[in-house]
Amino acid sequence: MDIEIKPTKKNHILITLIVLTILAVIIYLASVPKPIEKKYLHIEKVKFGSVNSSIISSGQLIPKTNQIISSLTSGILSKIITEVGTEVRSDSVIMQLSNPILISEKKSALSNLKIAKAEFLSKKLMLKNQLLDQESKLIELNSNLNLMHQKLLAKEQLFKSGIISKLDFFQAQLEVKQLKAKIIVEDKRNNFFIETSQAQYEAGNAKIDELISQLELKTLQVENLNIKANISGVVQTIDVDIGNSISYGQELALVSKPYPLIALLDVNQGASKYIKINMPAKISVANEEYKGRITHIAPQVNNGLVQVKLEFVEPLPKILKPLLGISAVIELSNLKAVMWLPRPNNVVRGINYFYRIDYDTNIAIRTKVEVGKITNSQIEILTGLNIGDAVILDDTNSWKKMEVKLN
């Protein structure tokens, strides 16, 4: 026989107290942080020594001396004589253009020059002949004047002797004066003829000089149909094909001297602002390390990269070739005798907060730390930590407590 137990007010209070106690225990246990396993943390100790600031970049070897071969005339590419990789001299013809119109213009310029020279020679001979006629006429007039002077002297004696009349004597004087005046006019005409002849000579010479210049230009343009290397070296690229129409100034090929070689690096745009001319660098080539210095920093940015050129302090072995891959460490600065840590993420110069581990209590304590120089791999510790302090370098921004228990 079952006995029915009726609930009382006292029983209800007891049950409520038990439930609330259980909930309080659960909430307390949930609020107590679980110890963090140290084996899952990145922990480093503060060290004492040097902080080296550097930039690591990659690139390739390139020739120091390069010559872009451009067309100095226009035409159709008819022949490629040398291939990429061919050694050439400065006068080596690497390709040829054809331009029949240009060759025809050269022939016309030569013909025009020959005609102009012949015409000028004919003109010069004619002017010389006219000048000789003028001079001959002056000689004849001066000879007549001398003769008339003698006659005048004779008539003067006859007039004084009363043999001839005064009128005849005056007439003889007048004839002498007229001849003198004529000689003066002819002399002026002769001088004017000489001046006009000189002007015609200069005009003829100027025309011939102009035609010579035109012929020299056409000759040079025809000669430039043979594209030369201009420097001794190796053909690196040929950028055109047979049959292409080539315009004046168009880039056709690249010729480089195989030595000396320099380093060409592609440096991240953000890092490039710290680089300066003459900064030292260590360049790794074919498992060997060489010293170098920065000689050029490109002003433009391409795809977030800045090109930097470096020259080697000592000549490279000639076994090394252009386009060989390299890596380089550019040394920005070197701090000695300072405290430092490996560089964590999200660190800034100035005040930061790190968790320092107290191994006696196994507790990580949130510590205010002043950071100085920051490099790719290190940070300088100014205040807040001591040599040998163990520090958690993981991202602890989500940790809200001043102290964290470790396990």
Question: Domain containing 394 — which CATH number?
Answer: 2.40.420
Q: How far apart are CA 291 and CA 318, in angstroms?
A: 16
Q: Is residue 29 part of a domain?
A: no
pTM of the shown model:
0.55
Total structural domains in the chain?
4
User: pLDDT value at position 26?
Assistant: 61
SS3 74: coil
User: pLDDT value at position 170?
Assistant: 86
> In the predicted model, what is the mean pLDDT of residues 258-283?
90
- Boundary (domain end) residue, out of 335, 356, 384: 335
3-state helix, strand, coil in the chain (%, to 5): 35, 35, 30
Does the pLDDT at position 28 exceed 80?
no
Statement to judge: residues 330 and 397 lie in one domain: no
Statement to judge: residues 136 and 160 lie in one domain: yes
> In the predicted model, what is the mean pLDDT of residues 185-195?
85
User: pLDDT value at position 344?
Assistant: 93
What are the residues facing 246 on neighbouring strands?
Answer: 75
User: Which structural domain, as residue segments, surrounds residue 342?
Assistant: 34-52+336-405
Q: Is residue 195 part of a domain?
A: yes
Q: Is residue 19 part of a domain?
A: no
What are the residues facing 178 on neighbouring strands?
Answer: none
User: pLDDT value at position 10?
Assistant: 61
As a dihedral over the C-alpha atoms of residue 113, residue 119, residue 123, residue 125, rounded to 10 degrees, the angle is 90
Residue 125, H or E segment = helix 100-161
Statement to judge: residues 46 and 70 lie in one domain: no
- 49-53, 60-64, 96-100, 254-258, range with the lowest pLDDT: 49-53
| Interval 96-124: pLDDT, tens | 999 999 999 999 999 999 999 998 888 88
- 16-25, 263-272, 373-382, range with the lowest pLDDT: 16-25
Statement to judge: residues 113 and 200 lie in one domain: yes
| Better pLDDT: 360 or 33 | 360
Q: How confident is the model at residue 191 (pLDDT cuts 50, 70, 90)?
A: confident
Q: Is residue 294 part of a domain?
A: yes
Statement to judge: residues 44 and 148 lie in one domain: no
Q: With contact defined as beta carbons under 8 Å apart, do 34 and 315 qualify? A: no
Q: Is residue 8 part of a domain?
A: no
Q: How far apart are CA 21 and CA 81, in angstroms?
A: 98
Q: Tokens 């507790």 — which residue? A: 363
Phi-psi region of 207 (alpha: psi -120 to 50; beta: other; left: phi over 0): alpha
63-to-83, 251, 259, 314, 360 alpha-carbon distances in Å: 18, 19, 6, 15, 62
Does the pLDDT at position 4 exceed 60?
no
User: pLDDT value at position 70?
Assistant: 95
> In the predicted model, what is the mean pLDDT of residues 341-370?
93
Q: How far apart are CA 298 and CA 307, in angstroms?
A: 5
**Residue 150, C-beta contacts closer than 8 angstroms, at least 6 positions apart:** none
Which tokens go with 276?
């300066």
Residue type present at position 134: Q
In Å, how far from its chain's centre is CA 264?
14
The enclosing domain of 316 has a CATH number of 2.40.30.170
User: pLDDT value at position 152?
Assistant: 79
Statement to judge: residues 111 and 196 lie in one domain: yes
Q: How far apart are CA 57 and CA 242, in angstroms?
A: 40
Statement to judge: residues 215 and 73 lie in one domain: no
% of the chain residues with pLDDT over 90: 53
Spatial CA neighbour of 378 closest among 347, 334, 407, 341 = 341
> In the predicted model, what is the mean pLDDT of residues 261-275?
90
45-to-53, 334, 386, 391 alpha-carbon distances in Å: 20, 21, 9, 6
Q: With contact defined as beta carbons under 8 Å apart, do 318 and 260 qualify? A: no
> In the predicted model, what is the mean pLDDT of residues 334-346?
89
User: pLDDT value at position 145?
Assistant: 81
DSSP tag of 349: S
Does the pLDDT at position 11 exceed 70?
no
| Interval 205-224: pLDDT, tens | 999 999 999 999 999 999 99
Statement to judge: residues 131 and 214 lie in one domain: yes
> In the predicted model, what is the mean pLDDT of residues 82-95?
93
Statement to judge: residues 215 and 299 lie in one domain: no
User: pLDDT value at position 332?
Assistant: 80
Nearest 5°: phi and psi at 251?
A: -75, 130
Statement to judge: residues 203 and 297 lie in one domain: no
Q: Is residue 322 part of a domain?
A: yes
Does the pLDDT at position 17 exceed 80?
no
Q: Is residue 350 part of a domain?
A: yes
The enclosing domain of 72 has a CATH number of 2.40.50.100
Q: Is residue 94 part of a domain?
A: yes
Statement to judge: residues 213 and 164 lie in one domain: yes
Does the pLDDT at position 164 exceed 90?
no
Statement to judge: residues 209 and 120 lie in one domain: yes
Average pLDDT over the chain reads 87
Q: How confident is the model at residue 30 (pLDDT cuts 50, 70, 90)?
A: very low
Does the pLDDT at position 15 exceed 90?
no
